[in-house]
């Protein structure tokens, strides 16, 4: 039976490291086991909701709207969750097209925690696609504290490494349990020394390969679909291994 204890995952890492793609691929993996998954898109700067997934035409929920209530009820959370058009087990909550962090009044950390706790009650699993920049993203910061596991994506580029080093002191507080973060190397290209990056990040537990077909899925809003070919299957088995590790499941 599925453990209820490992239910929420926060996906975090440098800008462009593959957070949104990885969050959606893990959601699709969990959905194979007929588990309801809620994906939370924290980014208010370039909201992923209108760009990376297909939703029902009538969908009009917003994370910003839900967070701006003085008290968030289960009904409010559910009203702002948007069902996937492609997968009946996956739903999303994020900022809508044209919205940004200033569309709504600011919210406090307590509200962010309330939201995450409610989503835990609503869905079997919650995956939080965090914003890279935490300074003004209360929900991402709360997710890093509240989630049962944090996937820390470590891309094979110098900008990603620079981000990693600059953020280490900012999340040094024990509440972030940085030593428990599960590091994943992303986007290694054949011409790069993946091993050197692995060492520079202090070792990684998993490596997600770069696949052109994933870029194609991203631009066609089709990331919940399975991948084909040998490389696609290899990528999916890595996603499956990560999913088992982070949710402590037999998935």
Ligand X SMILES: Nc1ncnc2c1ncn2[C@@H]1O[C@H](COP(=O)(O)OP(=O)(O)OP(=O)(O)O)[C@@H](O)[C@H]1O
Residue numbers of the site for Mg ion (CB under 5 A)?
A: 19-20
The answer to the question of residue 215 lying near ligand X (CB under 6 A) is yes
The secondary structure of 9-22, three-state, reads EEEEECCCCCHHHH
The answer to the question of residue 232 lying near ligand X (CB under 6 A) is no
d(Cα 169, Cα 149) in Å, to the nearest integer?
Answer: 20
In the complex, minimum distance from the CB of residue 17 to Mg ion, in angstroms, rounded to a whole number: 9
In the complex, minimum distance from the CB of residue 73 to ligand X, in angstroms, rounded to a whole number: 29
d(Cα 130, Cα 10) in Å, to the nearest integer?
Answer: 7
The answer to the question of residue 132 lying near ligand X (CB under 6 A) is yes
In residues, how long is the chain?
Answer: 251
In the complex, minimum distance from the CB of residue 78 to ligand X, in angstroms, rounded to a whole number: 25
In the complex, minimum distance from the CB of residue 40 to Mg ion, in angstroms, rounded to a whole number: 12
Report the interhelical angle of 138-146 vs 109-122 (nearest 10°). Answer: 60
Among 78, 145, 210, 251, binds ligand X (CB under 6 A): 210
Q: Are 126 and 40 in contact (CB under 8 A)?
A: yes
Site for ligand X in 5-24 (CB under 6 A): 15-21
In the complex, minimum distance from the CB of residue 121 to ligand X, in angstroms, rounded to a whole number: 26
* CA quadruple 129, 134, 140, 141: dihedral sign: positive
Report the partner that residue 15 touches, choosing among Mg ion, ligand X, none (CB closer than 5 to 8 A by kind).
ligand X
Q: Which residue is nearest to Mg ion (CB)?
A: 20
3-state secondary structure of 78: helix
Among 218, 221, 222, 251, binds ligand X (CB under 6 A): 218
3-state secondary structure of 62: coil
d(Cα 219, Cα 40) in Å, to the nearest integer?
Answer: 20
- Nearer to ligand X by Cβ, of 72 and 242: the residue is 242
Question: Which residues of this chain interact with ligand X, rule CB under 6 A?
Answer: 15-21, 43, 132, 187, 208, 210-211, 214-215, 218
């Amino acid at each position: 039976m599925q453990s209820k204890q490992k239910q929420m995952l926060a996906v975090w890492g440098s800008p462009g490291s593959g957070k949104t793609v990885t969050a959606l691929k893990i959601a699709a993996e969990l959905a194979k086991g007929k588990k309801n998954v809620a994906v939370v898109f924290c980014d208010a700067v370039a909201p992923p909701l209108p760009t990376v997934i297909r939703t029902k035409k009538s969908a009009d929920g917003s994370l910003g709207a839900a967070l701006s209530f003085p008290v968030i009820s289960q009904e409010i959370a559910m009203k702002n969750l948007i069902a996937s058009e492609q997968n009946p087990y996956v739903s999303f909550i994020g900022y809508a097209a044209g919205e940004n962090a200033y569309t709504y009044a600011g919210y406090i950390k307590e509200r962010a925690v309330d939201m995450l706790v409610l989503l835990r009650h609503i869905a079997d699993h919650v995956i939080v696609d965090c914003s890279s920049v935490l300074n003004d993203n209360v929900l991402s910061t709360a997710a890093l504290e509240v989630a049962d596991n944090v996937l820390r994506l470590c891309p094979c580029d110098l900008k990603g490494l620079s981000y990693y080093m600059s953020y280490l002191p900012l999340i040094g507080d024990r509440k972030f349990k940085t030593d428990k973060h599960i590091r994943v190397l992303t986007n290694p290209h054949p011409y790069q020394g993946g091993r050197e990056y692995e060492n520079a990040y202090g070792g990684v537990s998993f490596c997600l390969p770069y696949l052109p077909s994933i870029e194609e899925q991203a631009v066609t809003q089709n990331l919940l679909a399975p991948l084909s070919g040998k490389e696609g299957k290899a990528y999916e088995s890595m996603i499956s291994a990560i999913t088992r590790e982070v949710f402590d499941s037999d998935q």
